[in-house]
Amino acid sequence: MGIADNLNQVKHSIEQACGDAGRPVDAVELVAVSKVHPTENIIPALEAGQRVCGENRVQEAQSKWPALRNDYPDVQLHLIGGLQTNKVKEAVALFDVIETVDRPKLARALVKEMDKQQKTLGVYLQINTGEEEQKGGCLPAEADDFIRLCVEELQMNVLGLMCIPPADEEPSLHFAFLRELAKRHGLTKLSMGMSGDFETAIRFGATSVRVGTAVFGDRPKKL
């Protein structure tokens, strides 16, 4: 099956999951995760009307997206991978939304750079719900303070919260935790759910799902 067919199938599953959860069929945004896939695989998705895409590395996105944006200027590009402070300048210039804001130092650097570039990006605050060492994200114990810092003190355009549950755990608990944390802070958007669990995430209130494999196929293995 081609990429356009995959995309349609994923969109259909999203609508179905919304319906099953008693939510409007358009309650959930699809972020098509095109990381690792070459431009020629991304074009069919854009031609089929997909307008929100996700990349996890600044450098890779820089090599693919300026050209694609020329042809599809209304694309919304989300950074879904960890961001080093030394890449903040490039990230602010290229992306529309950064989903991985997870520490005060990064938040402050982003605010400063957005000010400099006169550009306001939407951000999600990433929460490391599984407290995994190898993963980015603010630890749950520090989340209340971090959210307050970004929303109140730094006045960032905080759209909501984002998480990536541990691969080997039932994701529902993590989704439920993120939902409650967002609710407590009056945040309305939840970026959660990937190819394997987006239907569950939608049941738990996801407003945005990040789907790669189910749209673009398996990612080529790194050598």
Ligand X SMILES: *Cc1c(COP(=O)(O)O)cnc(C)c1O
Using only C-alpha atoms, what is the Rg of the chain? 17
Helix pair 39-47, 58-71: axis angle to 10 deg: 40
Least distance (Å) between residue 62 CB and ligand X? 17
Q: Give min distance, CB of 217 to ligand X, in A.
A: 9
Residue among 16 and 213 whose Cβ is closer to ligand X: 213
Q: Which element (helix H / strand E) includes 145?
A: helix 140-148
In the complex with ligand X, the residue whose CB is nearer, 159 or 214, is 214
> Quick one: how many helices (H) and strands (E) in the chain?
9, 8
Q: How many CB atoms lie within 10 A of CB 70?
A: 8
The letter for the amino acid at 11 is: K
Query: Which of 137, 205 has the CB closer to ligand X?
Result: 137
DSSP SS3 for 177 = helix
- In the complex, minimum distance from the CB of residue 65 to ligand X, in angstroms, rounded to a whole number: 16
Residues 6+ apart with CB under 8 A from 160: 124, 125, 182, 187, 188, 189, 190, 191, 207, 208
Is the Cα dihedral 64, 128, 147, 112 positive or negative?
A: negative
Residue nearer to ligand X on the CB measure, 68 or 214: 214
Shortest Cβ distance from residue 59 to ligand X (Å)?
A: 15
Nearer Cβ to ligand X (103/210): 210
Closest chain position to ligand X (CB): 212
Q: C-beta of 191: minimal distance to ligand X in Å? A: 8
Phi, psi of 219 (to 5 degrees): -80, 140
User: Whose Cβ is closer to ligand X: residue 57's or residue 112's?
Assistant: 57
Q: How far is the CB of 184 from ligand X (least distance, A)?
A: 23
Catalog residues that contact ligand X under the rule CB under 6 A.
33, 35, 56, 80-81, 164, 194-196, 210-214
- Report the sign of the C-alpha dihedral through residues 19, 80, 122, 39, in that order: negative
Task: Specify the residue for token string 């398996």.
Answer: 218
Half-sphere exposure of 217 (CA within 13 A, CB side): 13
